[in-house]
Structure 1
Amino acid sequence: MEDAEDEIAVIGIGCNFPGGEGLDNFWRVLLEGKNCVVDIPAERFDTNFWYDADESKPGKTQTTKAALIEGFNEFDHKFFGITEAEADSMDPQHKLLLQCTYRALEDAGVAVESINGSRTGVYIGLMNKDYEMLQSNSSTTISHYNCTGTAMSVAANRISFTFNLTGPSFAIDSACSSSLVALHLACQAIKQGDCAMALCGGVSCIIEPKVYVALSKAKMISPAGTSKPFSSRADGYGRGEGCGIVFLKPLKKALKDCNKVWGIISKTAVNQDGRSVTPITKPSMTQQEELLRRIYSESDLANVQYIEAHGTGTQVGDPTEAGSISNIIAKTKPPGSERLRIGSVKSNIGHTESAAGVAGLIKMAPPTC
């Protein structure tokens, strides 16, 4: 474990995941064991046109279901000082980020005025460009707001602009690990003095059907639209959408300022598979094990009680992940220690892709409902 001087506190949480906006609704979904998968409504796209059970059919998806948030694209533009014309050209993901950032600050008991001009960093995981793809289909409606409304960089920069934050601010696309890589970079930035505090997380929205087609052809998607982590019935992942933001501060400073502490981040690490396995989409047990060795010391292993895993429900990914966790943690726990439990929030809210990591992190915060 790292020196306590380096520990980072989570002092605020804002989220909107399937099952209802806010942390209490998210926790209610978890406590009730709810599966939030629904039929994709026509407002998103016409599943009657895009669906076909035959996986060999070109241009078709094998599922018509997803875990979706309520009140999609509802946004009080005046509250954030944004004109209606500009808001109309904004990616719904940008809107969710602003809303959840405000909720995270509110949850932390931090007045917006008190962080005005502060050296607070913004680190956002973002991978999907559904709205940009839709906008580009109609060139006659493109305005100067389209650039700022859909750019990945602006997804983070708009938070900094709206709340007048002067720390580093950028979006990160490392696919489904995006929000956890954002967390790693935010923690590193705080430790090395790039920023005094940080807002970080991820977002993903399902608007456009072509990603479904690609996932179907790659045999990654569940025909039932439901992720079944670590199950013999696993048949691919079910997609979900949502947004999660956590507000980070050095633990020592958070305790001094009497902030509420949801949880403590002791250590983070990131690696890559290189070419240890093929194809490029296949996970590497070797590299997963190497990362776990770097994270956990021998003294840590005896105390590990639970792992919130990636657990998408794919027939390749889940056995690889379970095997690496077993080899490095479960098998090396001292005799007589507690059984190691693993789980995945994707069984409740689907795989939220670039928001998946932060969803798992928020799941580990103590419940308030």
Structure 2
Amino acid sequence: QTWIMDQPQQLKLEALEGDQAGLEAIIGGPPIARNKDVHVMCGHCRFNGSGNHLDRAWLTWSTATDGFIEIPMSRWDVALYYSEDTNAAAFGKAGTKHCAMLDFNDMAGFDNTYFGLTEREAECIVPGQRVLLEVMAETFKIGLNLDKPQLAGRPIACSIADIGPDWSSFACKDTHEQEWLKVGGIGYSNLSCSRVGWAFGMTGPMTQVDTACSSALVAANIIHGLVRKTEKGVTEGIMMSWINFFSPFPFVGLSAAGMLGRLGRCATFNESANGYNRGEGVGGLIAKCSDSVKDTESRVASFLSSFINQDGRSASLTAPNGPS
């Protein structure tokens, strides 16, 4: 398909004029009250390139670290699913063998008893949900200094950005059928939010978002709105995003659709780009609405504003809209 978009108008900022009163006259209304300030208390992540903390992840980004690797045998035998032929898709093969994957050790060693799961139940849950629970527990400890038992009954808002797993919905069914049924079939992606609520015992509002590429941004917008209301006693919120943890078959399908680049890299803003490429990881943030001096001093950022719109009718269902 071909997309034709209007080039955005080029604007140049020459000067700033006016004062606070003039700004209020334009946008209508006073500034946000101090007790409605939303602070980002921490960010935490588990990304490729050993980005297992926000500081370490920032180091990989600022030094332009290449987190893409050739898919290792510990995941699957890439030779069975990849072809160098430019018409690989015609043979049911993927056109790339690289991916920004987590280290195997970042996915292994799950403490199922800590989250109230039997060993067999944990085996039937998609890897992404297991890592999500681990990173979420770490985020609460870093941002609010709360351990899992302290979260039970606490009115913390939660929004999970989850675009779904690559895993088969019937994995483990033949070997552990009772456990498979107990955890909701493999732990479908629409159970991620329920899994979090059950594991941590939080009583605040919980939402789950799947808007494809924008899921994390939409989830952050939801948390921003929820913690600013405060009327229901919800002044703290957590936004977590987990990206697909991969299996080989979507690589074949996405190559057939012409979406994956054969370079094995995204090459964003570069004329050599010929498609996108995939990466794994989990990340999130703690947001808190407070006028406390202590919270203001310990925050890592301020969440001033957020807004959502939709691009309406465009060239196709998945095509972006230029003006939007």
Change beyond 3 A, Cα 1:165–1:50: same
Deviation at 1:156, TM superposition (A): 1.7
Instruction: Name the residue aligned to 2:156.
Output: 120
Counterpart of 1:7 in structure 2 is 37
Query: CA separation in 1, counterparts of 2:241 and 2:136?
Result: 11
Higher helix share: 1
TM-score norm. by structure 2 comes to 0.80
1:46-57 paired onto structure 2 within 5 Å: 46-52=77-83, 53=85, 54-57=87-90
Give the aligned partner of residue 167 of structure 2: 131
- Letter in structure 1 aligned against 2:66: N
Alignment pair present for 1:197 and 2:236: yes
Aligned to 2:216: 179
SS of the residue 1:233 aligns to: coil
Q: Counterpart of 1:274?
A: 312
**TM superposition shift of 1:117:** 1.3
- Gaps (5+ residues) in structure 2? 1-26
Alignment of 1:134-213 (within 5 A): 135=171, 139=174, 141-142=176-177, 143-147=180-184, 149-193=186-230, 195-213=234-252
Q: Which has more radius of gyration?
A: 2
1:256-285 CA-to-partner distances (Å, cap 9, x unmatched) read 55662111111111111111x212221111
Moved over 6 A (4+): none
Cα contact 1:127–1:174 (8 A) shared by 2: yes
Is residue 165–residue 245 contact of structure 2 (8 Å, CA) maintained in 1?
Answer: no
Question: Are the counterparts in 2 of residues 94 and 155 from structure 1 also a CA contact under 8 Å?
Answer: yes
2:126 alignment partner AA = D
Q: Write the letter of the residue equivalent to 1:211.
A: P
CA RMSD of aligned residues (A): 2.3
1:158-187 Cα offsets, whole Å, 9 max, x none, are: 222222210112321111111111111111
**Count of matched residue positions in the alignment of Structure 1 and Structure 2:** 284
TM-score when scaled to structure 1?
0.71
Percentage of pairs with the same residue: 25
2:300 aligned residue (262, 266, 271): 262
Cα distance between partner residues in 2 of 1:240 and 1:27: 16
Q: Is contact 2:239–2:286 with CA below 8 Å preserved after alignment?
A: yes
Q: Are 1:227 and 2:256 counterparts?
A: no
Q: Which SS does the other structure have where 2:216 is aligned?
A: helix
1:94 is matched with which residue: 129, 151, 172?
A: 129
**Deviation of the 1:109 alpha carbon:** 4.4
Q: What SS does the corresponding residue of 2:253 show, helix, strand or coil? A: helix
Q: Is the 8 A contact 2:89 2:95 kept in 1?
A: no
CA distance in structure 2 between the partners assigned to 1:215 and 1:228 by the alignment:
17
Q: Which runs of 5+ in 1 are unaligned?
A: 288-369
Equivalent residue, structure 2, for 1:38: 69
Paired letter, 1:63: T
Partner of 1:252: helix, strand, or coil? coil
